[in-house]
């Protein structure tokens, strides 16, 4: 899967035997889970805003005020304000309202013997949920809001520019990326403009305020919350763009790969009849696939990572896909929900510390709903993978097609 996505880079990184190693034109690569976590937790020495960091990539496209290119007090303040939009009870209900009927239909379609491409299903589901969250609501046919497949294609057109050997986008790539995101955020701009400005920044509801889990207010979107914070329209659209970019591809990578693993290992049948290990199985799937395979940091002050001295301005490449797979053992560990080596990693695939993925509860809500729909079908009509095809030349490894159907 990884070789199909990046025929050169992933095999090169996978051969690294040392926990920290400097590679010309790439940076200082960290493959050990404990050292990687220590880097993520040390936001004084290692930052998302210096040379070779995520800010170098995304600030020209999204602007300066989005979580993935911020540090310090400003980052913490924005994260606290957005936290209610990602409270587990809230996103569980949002997900159920948005894709619950479609996942129920998915179960019935599989039981009826239909061949279902899970990649297409997950693309549509992820697109629907992120559209609901950030104000790209469908209001009727012809409203110009992209479907899941179209949203995924547009996002992939932007993320496909990312290369480990290239610390920033070219001017032409920046122009193209901004055109794509400007088009995607037209409806979000409308949500921002139509929202009640509410209290100014610093006087609004506290970070402990939680939207009701009984309903998901249409106005309670990222654009409305950004306006409440006092962010300008352009700043708010940068944040919306960041959520669109990060809220689709990782899920579309993970879920089909997870279902293929379950089918290939016999765990699909086992979990269908006993869900007691579903939580560890989901964590093991995230450990083995690591939908965010690499994280970037810039060295802010001279320091050491393990035995390697790093200097201010160095680029750190945190190879989370290797750290998770090896789980501190030095060798790749197989998928095993019973042994559950994922438990010791404390969800490292979502990051750590101040930058632990804010959207993790939203991702987990979608994962649980789709997986349980497939498991419900498996319990009634045993399934098999009828066809699969790896996606090539993509930032995040995944399938371009994975077809499930009831066994003949």
* 29 vs 163: which has the higher pLDDT: 29
What pTM was estimated for this model as a whole? 0.88
Which residues is 401 bridged to in the sheet? 389
Provide the 10 A C-beta neighbour count for residue 199. 12
| pLDDT per position as a tens digit, 106-143 | 999 999 999 999 999 999 999 889 888 887 764 444 45
Token reading at 203: 């006087």
The mean pLDDT value for 160-173 works out to 84
Q: Give the residue extent of every domain in the chain.
A: 2-406
The DSSP secondary-structure symbol of 355 reads G
| pLDDT per position as a tens digit, 45-63 | 999 998 888 888 889 998 8
The DSSP secondary-structure symbol of 314 reads P
Residue 89 CA to residue 203 CA, distance in Å, equals: 25
3-class secondary structure, 79: helix
For helices 186-194 and 233-246, give the axis angle rounded to 10 degrees: 130
Instruction: Decide if 377 contacts 121 (C-beta within 8 A).
Output: no
Q: What confidence tier does 144 reach under pLDDT thresholds 50, 70, 90?
A: low
| pLDDT per position as a tens digit, 288-312 | 999 888 999 999 999 999 999 999 9
Mean pLDDT of the chain: 87
**Domain 2-406: assigned CATH number:** 1.10.630.10
């Amino acid at each position: 899967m990884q070789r199909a996505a990046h025929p050169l880079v992933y095999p090169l990184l996978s051969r690294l035997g040392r926990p920290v190693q400097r590679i010309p034109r790439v940076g200082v690569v960290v493959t050990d889970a404990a050292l990687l976590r220590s880097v993520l937790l040390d936001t004084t020495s290692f930052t998302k805003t210096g040379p070779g960091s995520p800010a170098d990539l995304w600030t020209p496209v999204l602007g300066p005020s989005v979580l993935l290119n911020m540090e310090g007090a400003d980052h913490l303040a924005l994260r606290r304000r957005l936290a209610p939009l990602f409270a587990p009870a809230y996103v569980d209900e949002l997900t159920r309202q948005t894709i619950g009927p479609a996942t129920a239909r998915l179960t019935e379609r599989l039981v009826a013997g239909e061949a279902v491409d899970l990649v297409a299903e997950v693309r549509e589901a992820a697109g629907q949920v992120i559209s609901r969250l950030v104000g790209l609501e469908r209001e009727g046919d012809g409203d110009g809001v992209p479907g899941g497949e179209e949203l995924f294609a547009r996002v992939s057109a932007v993320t496909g520019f990312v290369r480990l050997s290239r610390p920033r986008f070219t001017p032409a790539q920046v122009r193209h990326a901004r055109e794509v995101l400007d088009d995607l955020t037209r409806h979000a701009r409308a949500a921002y403009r139509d929202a009640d400005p509410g209290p100014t920044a610093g006087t609004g509801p506290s970070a402990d305020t939680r939207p009701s889990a009984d309903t998901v207010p249409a106005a309670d979107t990222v654009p409305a919350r950004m306006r409440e914070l006092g962010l300008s329209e352009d700043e708010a659209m940068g944040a919306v763009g960041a959520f669109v970019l990060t809220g689709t591809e990782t899920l579309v990578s993970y879920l089909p790969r997870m279902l293929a693993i379950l089918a290939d290992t016999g765990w699909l049948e086992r979990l269908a009849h006993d869900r007691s290990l579903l939580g560890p199985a989901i964590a093991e799937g995230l450990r083995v696939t690591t939908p965010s395979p690499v994280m970037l940091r810039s060295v802010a002050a001279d320091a050491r990572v393990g035995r390697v001295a790093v200097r201010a301005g160095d680029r750190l490449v945190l190879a989370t896909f290797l750290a998770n797979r090896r789980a501190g053992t030095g060798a790749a560990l197989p998928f095993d929900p019973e042994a559950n080596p994922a438990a010791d990693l404390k969800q490292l695939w979502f990051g750590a510390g101040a930058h632990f993925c804010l959207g993790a509860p939203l991702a987990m809500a979608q994962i649980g709903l789709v997986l349980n729909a497939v498991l419900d079908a498996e319990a009634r009509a045993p399934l098999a993978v009828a066809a699969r095809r790896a996606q090539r030349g993509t930032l995040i490894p995944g399938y371009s097609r994975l077809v499930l159907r009831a066994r003949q």
